[in-house]
Amino acid sequence: MFELSERARRYQDDLLAFMDEHIYPAEAVYEAQMAEAGDPHFQPPIVEELKTEARKRGLWNLFHPHPQWGPGLTNLEYAPLAEIMGRSAHLAPEATNCSAPDTGNMEVLTLFGTPEHQEQWLRPLLEGEIRSAFAMTEPAVASSDATNIQLRMERDGDDYVLNGRKWWTSNALHKNCKVLIVMGKTDPSAPTHRQQSMMVVPIDAPGVTVQRGLPVFGYQDREGHAEVTFENVRVPATALLAGEGDGFMISQARLGPGRIHHCMRAVGMAERALDLMIDRAQSRVTFGEPVANRANIQDWIAESRIEIDMARLLTLKAAYLMDTVGNKAARTEIAAIKVAAPNVALKVVDRAIQVHGGAGVSDDFPLASMYAHLRTLRLADGPDEVHKRSIAQWELRRRDPQWGRKS
């Protein structure tokens, strides 16, 4: 059922070769260039070199489902490729122009952008010339319920005027970030899910200020997670994506594929952590025996294999359903994998850290940084609890269609 197509297998072989020949050897170069720059948001030359090489090999925009913009792979075909990229998450997604949040933003601009948006923003994004950010979450309100979003978008003649404060706007500190897709309220008196709209806002528009980068467990990620203020930011009415009140509809369209890409990469990270755990357990000796001979360590290795394979199969099932019956019908599986994949990967990375001893929490190995990144995936794109709430509601209504509906 989940057998790879001929072309997906070709891409997989090409990507594996690219990882071995270029990405893994570049990891140390990347670390050295970042350390030398002393700026956490520096764009190291090695990343641009990798982009050139990936493009030359045809490993570019692999995520894009529409054939006019990329190879037009299905979600099921893309899944194993994203998993491979997840093994080197700082480098491989950006090298192949498959990074979040650009992938979701490119999808939105493809589906809902005007020809002008597509020329000004989508084309350079697809070319890897610029990057983008998605600004929905706000510090002042519980943003996992997006109906709480407060940023105001008020119509004024031919313009909209934006006022508000966002945070966790990932990528806004990337040196190439030029554009934000912003969610805000155009009509607070409209029905609850028609109050919000999305607009395309240049990051250098007067009144947009990137206030600071938020650290994650002390790490300042290169792309940055920014707190951004909007003070009387004036954009033309043509900045609107789709129509007024369509913000919720767009966010649903955007988050389905984005969520599953994160999960695929998380499975790849878990695989790499398992490899590291095994190598370390085989190479260290305590009390006369390799650590790998201990029953509890073998239990962790076996449990990790079982859990990773379960997470991968659920991810592939979600991808298959998205391709065959659509994102809406696949919503239970999309929500389920968004909970399962980061949790499985976290468990595997945690075991790998333990097997490494002190080295596991240092930055001589990628495990500590993997852990920090994966932990955020239990929050980003919706916390576990919100996805579980949705799954439970759909399950309850499967038995009683009226369950929880207001009469």
Ligand X SMILES: Cc1cc2nc3c(=O)[nH]c(=O)nc-3n(C[C@H](O)[C@H](O)[C@H](O)COP(=O)(O)OP(=O)(O)OC[C@H]3O[C@@H](n4cnc5c(N)ncnc54)[C@H](O)[C@@H]3O)c2cc1C
Which of 75, 137, 195, 327 lies at the binding interface for ligand X (CB under 6 A)?
A: 137
State how far the Cα of 260 lies from the Cα of 263, in Å rounded to an integer. Answer: 5
Q: Pick the closer one to ligand X by CB: 166 or 280.
A: 166
Per-residue buried b or exposed e for 72-87, using 16+ beta carbons within 10 Å of the residue's own CB: ebebbbbbbbbbbbbb
* Longest CA pairwise span in the chain (Å): 79
Q: Pick the closer one to ligand X by CB: 174 or 280.
A: 174
Stretch in the footprint of ligand X (CB under 6 A) among 195-203, 243-251, 337-345, 377-385: 377-385
Instruction: Looking at residues 196 to 255 of the shown chain, list those that interact with ligand X (rule: CB under 6 A).
Output: 216, 225
Q: How far is the CB of 167 from ligand X (least distance, A)?
A: 8
Long-range contacts of 106-110 (CB under 8 A, 24+ apart): 106/64, 106/69, 106/132, 107/64, 107/65, 107/253, 107/254, 107/257, 107/258, 108/181, 108/198, 108/241, 108/250, 108/253, 108/254, 109/200, 109/241, 110/64, 110/66, 110/69
Q: How far is the CB of 213 from ligand X (least distance, A)?
A: 11
Stretch in the footprint of ligand X (CB under 6 A) among 29-37, 54-62, 110-118, 140-148: 140-148
For ligand X (CB under 6 A), the number of binding residues is 22
State how far the Cα of 331 lies from the Cα of 329, in Å rounded to an integer. Answer: 6
Tell me if 60 contacts ligand X by CB under 6 A: no
Which of 134, 300, 320, 371 lies at the binding interface for ligand X (CB under 6 A)?
A: 134
Q: How far is the CB of 223 from ligand X (least distance, A)?
A: 9
Q: How many CA atoms lie within 13 A of 52 on its CB side?
A: 5
Tell me how far CA of residue 160 lies from CA of 146, 149, 191, 201, 235, in angstroms: 21, 17, 20, 11, 5
Q: How many CA atoms lie within 13 A of 99 on its CB side?
A: 27
Tell me if 379 contacts ligand X by CB under 6 A: yes
Q: How far is CA 379 from the centre of its chain?
A: 12
Stretch in the footprint of ligand X (CB under 6 A) among 229-237, 356-364, 381-389, 399-407: 381-389
Q: Pick the closer one to ligand X by CB: 317 or 389.
A: 389
Beta carbons of 108 and 254 less than 8 angstroms apart = yes
Q: How far is the CB of 142 from ligand X (least distance, A)?
A: 3
Which of 99, 143, 176, 327 lies at the binding interface for ligand X (CB under 6 A)?
A: 143
Q: How far is the CB of 239 from ligand X (least distance, A)?
A: 18
Using a 10 angstrom Cβ sphere, with 0-12 exposed, 13-18 middle and 19 or more buried, the burial of residue 219 is middle
Instruction: Looking at residues 98 to 117 of the shown chain, list those that interact with ligand X (rule: CB under 6 A).
Output: 101
Q: How far is the CB of 147 from ligand X (least distance, A)?
A: 11
Phi, psi torsion values for 132, nearest 5 degrees: -145, 170
User: In terms of DSSP bridges, do strands 208-213 and 225-236 run parallel, antiparallel, or are they unpaired?
Assistant: antiparallel
Amino acid at the residue 5: S
Tell me if 376 contacts ligand X by CB under 6 A: yes
State how far the Cα of 275 lies from the Cα of 370, in Å rounded to an integer. Answer: 14
Retrieve residue 335's tokens.
């929500």
Q: How far is the CB of 371 from ligand X (least distance, A)?
A: 13
Q: Pick the closer one to ligand X by CB: 8 or 151.
A: 151
State how far the Cα of 268 lies from the Cα of 285, in Å rounded to an integer. Answer: 28
Which of 91, 106, 135, 291 lies at the binding interface for ligand X (CB under 6 A)?
A: 135
Q: Pick the closer one to ligand X by CB: 359 or 386.
A: 386
Tell me if 65 contacts ligand X by CB under 6 A: no
Q: How far is the CB of 183 from ligand X (least distance, A)?
A: 7
Q: How many CA atoms lie within 13 A of 191 on its CB side?
A: 4
Phi, psi torsion values for 239, nearest 5 degrees: -70, -15
Stretch in the footprint of ligand X (CB under 6 A) among 122-130, 321-329, 349-357, 383-391: 383-391
Q: Pick the closer one to ligand X by CB: 72 or 383.
A: 383
Instruction: Looking at residues 334 to 363 of the shown chain, list those that interact with ligand X (rule: CB under 6 A).
Output: none
Tell me if 380 contacts ligand X by CB under 6 A: yes
Q: Pick the closer one to ligand X by CB: 347 or 387.
A: 387
Tell me if 30 contacts ligand X by CB under 6 A: no
Which chain residues interact with ligand X by CB under 6 A? 101, 134-137, 142-144, 168-170, 216, 225, 376, 379-383, 385-386, 389
